[in-house]
Amino acid sequence: MQEHKERKGKAAKYTSNHHFKNLEIYFESDSRSNASKLEWNIKHLLKKDKEELIKQKSLEKLKDKIDINKYNYIKEVR
């Protein structure tokens, strides 16, 4: 997440131009590849499904699309 906040390094170009105000939910993965897969799948959810994902603090909605055991929910944002 620090890469996104500092807007340097390998952060997404969109994030470097559009600052985020707060982080609603944070998952950790073992690789950048898995993180990108998770991000892609979350971006393609409907808004109501994204809101539910935040409320439940779980990736259950995505269990048919990705291996949700590869991700850990981080309770406190660092």
Compute the distance between CA of residue 41 and CA of residue 24 in angstroms, rounded to an integer.
16
Q: What is the pTM of this model?
A: 0.73
- Domain count for the chain, please give it: 1
Residue pLDDT tens, the chain, 78 long: 565 556 566 656 666 676 667 778 889 999 989 999 999 999 999 999 999 999 999 999 999 999 999 999 987 655
Distance CA 59, CA 67 (A): 10
In a domain, 38, yes or no: yes
Instruction: For residue 41, give its domain range.
Output: 2-73
Q: Is residue 55 part of a domain?
A: yes
Residues 37, 41, 49: CA angle, nearest 5 degrees: 150
